[in-house]
Amino acid sequence: MIKCIAIDDEPLAVKKIAGYIRKIPFLELVAECRNASEAMSIMSQNDIQLLFIDINMPDINGMDFVKSLANKPYIVFTTAYSEYAVEGFQVEAVDYLLKPISFGNLLKAANKVKNLIELSTNSQKESLRTTPNHLFVKSEYKLIRIELDNIKYIESQHEYIKIFLINSNPVMTQISMKNIEEQLPSDRFMRVHRSFIVNLARVSVIERNRIVFDDKIYIPVSEQYKEKFQEYIDKNFV
Which pLDDT tens digit goes with each residue over 149-166? 999 999 998 778 999 999
pLDDT in tens, 86-119: 777 778 899 999 999 999 999 999 999 999 888 7
> Residue 74 CB: number of other CB atoms within 10 A?
23
pLDDT at 127 exceeding the cut of 60: no
**In the predicted model, what is the mean pLDDT of the chain?**
88
* Residue 95: HSE in the Cβ half-sphere, 13 Å Cα cutoff: 20
Does the global pTM surpass 0.85?
A: no
CB 185 within 8 A of CB 174: no
Domains and CATH numbers, the chain: 2-123 (3.40.50.2300), 127-236 (2.40.50.1020)
Other Cβ atoms closer than 10 A to 1 = 8
Tell me the CA distances in angstroms from 198 to 100, 150, 204, one per residue in order: 45, 11, 11
Contact 87, 79 (CB under 8 A): no
Beta strands at 50-53 and 2-7: parallel, antiparallel or unpaired: parallel
Q: What angle in degrees, to the nearest 10, is found between the helix axes of 11-22 and 103-126?
A: 60
The per-residue pLDDT for range 211-234, each reduced to its tens digit, is 998 868 899 999 889 999 998 888
Percent of the chain having pLDDT more than 70?
Answer: 93
- In angstroms, the Cα distances linking 189 to 61, 201, 206, 227 are 38, 8, 16, 15
pLDDT band at 16 (very low <50, low <70, confident <90, very high): very high
Residue 219 carries which side chain, given as an amino acid letter?
A: I
Share of the chain above pLDDT 90, in %: 52
Reported as a pLDDT band with limits 50, 70 and 90, residue 128 is low
- The pLDDT tens digits of the residues spanning 162-200 come to 999 998 899 998 888 888 888 888 899 999 998 999 999
The per-residue pLDDT for 23 is 97
How far apart CA 63 and CA 72 sit, in angstroms, is 12
Please check whether residue 8 is in contact with residue 78, taking contact to mean a CB–CB distance below 8 angstroms: yes
Task: Report the alpha-carbon distance of residue 30 to residue 62 in Å, rounded.
Answer: 18
pLDDT at position 123? 65
**Cα–Cα distance between 112 and 51 in angstroms, integer?**
13
- DSSP one-letter string for 62-118: HHHHHHH-SS--EEEEEES-GGGHHHHHHTT-SEEEESSPPHHHHHHHHHHHHHHHH
Residue 229's region, left for phi above 0, alpha for psi from -120 to 50, else beta, is: alpha
